Amino acid sequence: MQAARPERIGFIGLGIMGRSMALNLMRRGFHVTVWNRTRARMEPLLAAGARGASSPKEAAREADVVITIVTDSPDVEQVILGPEGVIEGARPGTVVIDMSTISPAVTRRIAAQLAERGIDMLDAPVTGGDVGAREGTLSIMVGGKAEVLERCRPVLEAMGRTIVHMGDHGMGQLCKLCNQVIVALNLLAMSEGLAFAAKAGVDLEKMLAVVRAGAAGSWALDNLAPRVLRGDYRPGFMVRLQQKDLRLALDAAGQMNLPLPGTSLVHQLLASVEAYGGGDDGTQALVQVLERLGNVRIGPHSKEVERWAMEGSTPTG
Ligand code: NAP
């Protein structure tokens, strides 16, 4: 007999991604109880009809499925296994779906501890950015038991369009790290293309219009390059989170003796964004490193351009 569609969702972590994902669940008719460490971030969800919980434990108590999307491995451990954590409130049969990007090894450890209490876990990290979260078009890569994924598929379908079972616990996270390697190099490709165009005096808008439609097209060109041209460095995905993911990818690659020279380079270049105080900026801020390296102006309001303007020197390009 097929298990009933899970109806009650506990949702933990209402950051850039989580708040849109929780709203999409509510739009599909799920009963959502939210918890966020900073309570003020719960307000828009409560106004939209969600119930509020005072702890992850309370968010889990009535839930069929508990979703977590917080920052890093220790944060997921804390909200699931820590004091007042999900594990204290969840009943046997509850499914915990962690949609954060974290260490595959930590994921396997959390899954094992939950299993001792009869609680199933899926690692289900996502890609598609803030835009995909808002539009409910995320790609979701899933690790854990296939039958648990099938039970939870309607929940994931409220947030994403492409949902693929990758294998056992941790395989979703490993797939996400593949994604991050590719994303990082697309970001560098976009940044170098824009720097080259700016220095050569090519019209950036026209270049993007024609290049996006051809073999060089990418998510970065469609979604991030227009932000650069507007001088918009607000985060869809923060530099410090990209750095966390590249550290995870480089660690895993190191354990396999697999060189990832391009990924290492992007990691080093983004360290320069952090050194200039841009860790909370969006990853499109990588173009600012190329502006500094090449003495070229790309976006209209990058911090570096503002500094040049204050110092009275004129960047070329
Ligand atoms: P974000 O805006 O910084 O949100 C992070 C959330 O985690 C906030 O709700 C924060 O609570 C919560 N949090 C962090 N540490 C916590 C802790 N120790 N205990 C309780 N809550 C904690 O980040 P985001 O962009 O939504 O990213 C969330 C996850 O999704 C990350 O793993 C990221 O790598 C992944 N991801 C992001 C994107 C993207 O484009 N943004 C795309 C794919 C995957 P507070 O409000 O209290 O700070």
How do residues 214-232 score in pLDDT, each as one tens digit?
A: 999 999 999 999 999 999 9
Class of domain 174-311 (CATH, top level): mainly alpha
Q: Where in the chain is the domain with CATH 1.10.1040.10?
A: 174-311
Average pLDDT over residues 98-107: 98
Tell me the C-alpha distance between 263 and 244, whole Å.
12
At 300, is the pLDDT very low, low, confident or very high (cuts 50, 70, 90)? confident
**Superfamily covering domain 8-168:** NAD(P)-binding Rossmann-like Domain (3.40.50.720)
CA-to-CA separations, 300 to 228, 230, 232, 276, 317, in angstroms, rounded: 8, 7, 9, 18, 12
Residue 13: pLDDT over 50: yes
Residue 2: pLDDT over 80: no
CA of 79 to the centre of ligand 1 (A): 12
pLDDT at site 285: 97
pLDDT at site 4: 76
Tell me the C-alpha distance between 137 and 222, whole Å.
15
**Could you confirm whether 244 is annotated as catalytic?**
no
- Report pLDDT digits (tens) over 136-176: 999 999 999 999 999 999 999 999 999 999 999 999 999 99
Q: Which of 57, 176, 244, 303 is catalytic?
A: 176
- 241 CB within 6 A, ligand 1: yes
CA of 71 to the centre of ligand 1 (A): 4
Q: Where in the chain is the domain with CATH 3.40.50.720?
A: 8-168
Mutate to test the pocket of ligand 1, among 97, 241, 244 (most ligand atoms within 8 A of CB): 241
Q: Which two tokens stand for residue 248?
A: 């995870």
CB within 8 Å of 205: residues ≥ 6 apart = 229
